[in-house]
Amino acid sequence: SRILEVHGQRMLDANYKPGFKVKLHHKDMAIVMDNAQETATPLPGAALIAQQMNALMGAGDSELDSSALMRALERLVGEGK
């Protein structure tokens, strides 16, 4: 995928220098999920990403690049900081 081509190595290197910040991705995901609820549209994949964005926000990672989703996944399996 294009995202992995652009961000894959950065994710492996844990380089989350901001491009598109977590806080903006979090805001956008909230809009997506609100619209999905209003239209009764199931978006299970988007719901998972929204949960991970919530976790990043709660961990104080709002200023990192949204590729820090990798950090949230590492925390889920007990490997992250």
Reduce the secondary structure of the chain to three states and give it as a string: CHHHHHHHHHHHCCCCCCCCEHHHHHHHHHHHHHHHHHCCCCCHHHHHHHHHHHHHHHCCCCCCEHHHHHHHHHHHCCCCC
| pLDDT for the residue 59 | 95
| pLDDT for the residue 69 | 92
| pLDDT for the residue 52 | 94
Residues 16 and 68 sit within 8 Å (Cβ to Cβ)? yes
40, two tokens: 């009764």
pLDDT averages per 10-residue partition of the chain, 81 residues:
84 90 97 98 97 96 94 87 64
Instruction: Tell me the CATH architecture of domain 2-76.
Output: Orthogonal Bundle (1.10)
| pLDDT for the residue 39 | 98
